[in-house]
Structures are given as structure tokens and as C-alpha cells.
Amino acid sequence: MYRLLIYLTLLLPATTFAQRVANFSYKNFNAKDFEAYGFWVNANQVGDINYSYKTPEGDIKSMKLQYEGVDMMNGEKAFKVLFPNNLRLYVIPKKNNTLKIASLDGKYSKTFRWLYEGPVEGRGTFCEACAENAAEATKLLTTYYLK
């Protein structure tokens, strides 16, 4: 009995947040300049970071980004992401549950809001791994990406 209790105690934290994703977008999916980031947490560790954007033709392109650790930008705690073309951006989770994502040179600076992934008016599928609201999504980032 005690072995089972110890096993469950050790396993529960890993399975509770075994795989979660915090999705944030710039504008709505229908907008011509739609962008989205998906920040994954796997087994309580930083996971994949996915970036998607809409092309001028209306297609969605996606790529994986590299997590580069914690830093400061303009006095605010941030974490860095690196694109395949070596563009480095700083991600700053804000108290209002948005993200400021910016480059050091200021050429890229946008505010992203939590992106709901799930059924709308009874249509679509439920995203089990997705953060359920903006507060949970922001907490995933501050807990795991800003350590």
C-alpha cells in the first residue's frame, strides 16, 4: 500500500502537467497578418516552441524555434527565442496575461493575446493539452520559461 502511495506521489506531478501548451496570437486567424506562438511544457520542462504565420497568399507556414534562456529587456524579465534565420526575439509575459514579443533593435514589437483552441458553438475538437484560459497560459510561461 505504501509503495503505491509513494509511486502515485512521485508520478502525479509529472502527469498533472505532462504536456501543456500555451498558445498566443497576434490578431485573429482571419487577419492577413495573423501570427501565433505555441509554447509547450513537457514533463515540467520547456518543450517545443512553434511559430506560425499567414503568408500574403493566405497559407499558414510553421516552424520550430529554439529556446535560449532567460534575459532582461528594458528592465523586464524575458526569455529569448531563436528563429532558424538567427532572428532572436524576446518574450515578455505581462501582468494582463498578454505577451510582448520584441527584437532588441525595435524592428519587431507586437502584443500577443491568449489563443483559444477548441470547439466554437459546438463545432471543433477539444484541445486537451491547451491552457484553458489566458491566466493559465501566462502562468505556464512564467513558471517554466522564466526559471
Which of helix, strand or coil describes residue 12? helix
**Distance from the Cα of residue 51 to its chain's centroid:** 9
| For the chain, percent of residues with pLDDT exceeding 70 | 88
Instruction: Please choose, from the candidates 41, 40, 48, 50, the residue with its C-alpha nearest in 3D space to the C-alpha of residue 14.
Output: 41
Give CA–CA dist 82/87, Å, rounded: 6
Tens digits of residue pLDDT in 76-95: 999 999 999 999 999 999 99
Q: How many domains in the chain? A: 1
Give CA–CA dist 73/138, Å, rounded: 18
Q: What is the pLDDT of residue 11?
A: 39
- Asked whether 37 and 50 are in contact (CB, 8 A), the reply is yes
Instruction: For residue 88, give the C-alpha cell.
Output: 532572436
For residue 59, what are the domain limits?
2-145
pTM: 0.84
Q: For residue 9, is pLDDT > 60?
A: no
Give CA–CA dist 67/104, Å, rounded: 16
Which of helix, strand or coil describes residue 140? helix
Most confident of 6-20, 37-51, 123-137: 37-51
